[in-house]
Amino acid sequence: MKLVGISGSLRKESYNTKLLKTIGERYAESFDLEILSIRELPFYDQDEEADPPDAVKTFKEKVKKADGVIIATPEYNWSIPGALKNALDWLSRGDKEMKDKPVMVVGASTGILGTVRAQIDQRKILGSSGLSARVLPPSTNEFLVTNAHEKFDESGRLTDEATLQFLDAVVNRFVEFVKKP
Ligand SMILES: Cc1cc2nc3c(=O)[nH]c(=O)nc-3n(C[C@H](O)[C@H](O)[C@H](O)COP(=O)(O)O)c2cc1C
């Protein structure tokens, strides 16, 4: 199974990117996770959507080929970061690569609510007609890392045992969800 990961944070020491790296390593036997960069994507411009810049074409192609997507969103001012929304806006147009694509939403924040507000917005956006993604239902799968600065080790891996146990359960459900027709 081939998945792609999108981190909503551009910073080098991002906990969200570290979370994706942890997921890629920990479940390497279940799937291959390629973390895509959104740094090179220009601002979405409707004048360019029919023939977008190369960075956008490459990004969209990788999402199209993936069996599923894991989005790790930080919370910026109670919502998802602009850079992540921009990436999703590109995906929502043209070939609409996210249509029916299985998606798992996760997030890490240094706050005590751990991206809960950002994830609500993220799920709303993924349900828009342009994206129409098949999102793993939040009911038992709302995976978030609170107080992220306390839960990763120096090598950048998530080490909090209780959080990892819950992650195992959610990722297992996502793998089954991706396999479903
Ligand atoms: C512009 C900005 C706005 C933020 N707003 C929130 C917020 O609304 N809620 C929250 O829990 N944390 C907020 N934070 C703190 C982030 O959770 C924290 O910086 C986190 O580490 C960002 O994710 P990253 O490590 O992947 O870059 C904000 C940080 C920045 C830079």
What integer is the mean pLDDT of 103-130?
A: 98
Q: Name the average pLDDT for the chain.
A: 97
On whether the CB atoms of residues 114 and 73 are closer than 8 A, the answer is no
Decide if domain 2-179 falls under CATH 3.40.50.11540: no
Atom of ligand 1 nearest to the CA of 112: 11
- Between CA 15 and CA 114 the distance in angstroms is 11
Percent of the chain topping pLDDT 90: 99
Residue 65 scores a pLDDT above 80: yes
- Between CA 113 and CA 130 the distance in angstroms is 29
What integer is the mean pLDDT of 95-109?
A: 97
Assign 33 a pLDDT band (cuts: 50, 70, 90).
very high
Residue 19 scores a pLDDT above 80: yes
Atom of ligand 1 nearest to the CA of 115: 11
Atom of ligand 1 nearest to the CA of 11: 27
Predicted pLDDT at 1: 98
Please report the beta strands in 88-166, taking only residues with DSSP state E, as ranges in sequence order: 102-108, 134-135, 143-145
Predicted pLDDT at 181: 73
For residue 107, the CA-to-ligand 1 centroid distance in Å is: 10
Report the nearest-CA residue for atom 3 of ligand 1: 76
Assign 75 a pLDDT band (cuts: 50, 70, 90).
very high
Instruction: State whether the beta carbon of 10 lies less than 6 angstroms from ligand 1.
Output: no
Per-residue pLDDT reduced to its tens digit, 47-61? 999 999 999 999 999
Instruction: State whether the beta carbon of 92 lies less than 6 angstroms from ligand 1.
Output: no
Instruction: State whether the beta carbon of 177 lies less than 6 angstroms from ligand 1.
Output: no
Residue 126 scores a pLDDT above 80: yes
Domain ranges for the chain, please list them: 2-179
Predicted pLDDT at 158: 98
Instruction: State whether the beta carbon of 78 lies less than 6 angstroms from ligand 1.
Output: yes
Q: Which of 20, 57, 22, 61 is nearest to 40 (CA)?
A: 57
Structural Rg of the chain based on CA atoms: 15
